[in-house]
């Protein structure tokens, strides 16, 4: 009668737990050190940002108009803007036209003309940046 010798089972599977532990530690190190790598060590004296106030002209798709948060009747835009620009500290304020994309450009042009006539020297048209990549 032969006696059976008990042999231990061979481990044929790879234990991935230590590999996962090391990978997670490396990811944590990368997340902590990455922000530090993007800033240079050069000494730079950055300029102070100027507190800039804006006056916004908002034109809805229905043609309603407002200056900042105050509704303006048709034809009263120039008067309201002249009043706002006459306030202390508003001489060189930026006048931003925010118009719905359905508003005809001629309406926007008239608003810009009214702003110039009211005494605005700095004008801008608010737009939304494209989200898709350019070729």
| Domains identified in the chain, total number | 1
The verdict on residue 68 lying in a domain is yes
DSSP β-ladder status, 94-99 and 54-59? parallel
Q: Is 91 part of any domain?
A: yes
Question: pLDDT tens digits for 69-92?
Answer: 889 987 889 999 999 888 888 878
Does 44 reside within a domain?
no
Do the domain assignments include residue 109?
yes
| CATH code (residue 90) | 3.30.420.270
Domain membership of residue 118 (yes or no) is: yes
pLDDT of residue 125: 92
Q: Does residue 40 form part of some domain?
A: no
Q: Distance (Å, rounded) from C-alpha 82 to C-alpha 118?
A: 5
Please give the residue range of the domain that contains residue 99: 54-125
Which residues, given as ranges, of the chain have pLDDT below 50?
Answer: none
């Amino acid at each position: 009668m032969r006696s059976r010798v008990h042999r231990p089972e061979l481990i044929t599977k790879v234990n991935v737990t230590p590999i996962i532990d090391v990978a997670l530690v490396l990811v944590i190190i990368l997340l902590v050190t990455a922000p530090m790598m993007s800033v240079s060590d050069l000494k730079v004296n950055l300029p102070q940002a100027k507190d800039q106030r804006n006056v916004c002209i908002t034109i809805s798709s229905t043609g309603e108009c407002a200056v900042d948060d105050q509704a303006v009747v048709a034809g009263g835009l120039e008067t309201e803007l002249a009043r706002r620009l006459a306030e202390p500290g508003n001489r060189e304020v930026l006048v931003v036209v925010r118009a719905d994309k359905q508003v005809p450009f001629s309406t926007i042009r008239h608003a810009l003309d009214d702003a110039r006539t009211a005494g605005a020297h700095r004008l801008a048209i608010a737009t939304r940046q494209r989200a898709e990549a350019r070729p």
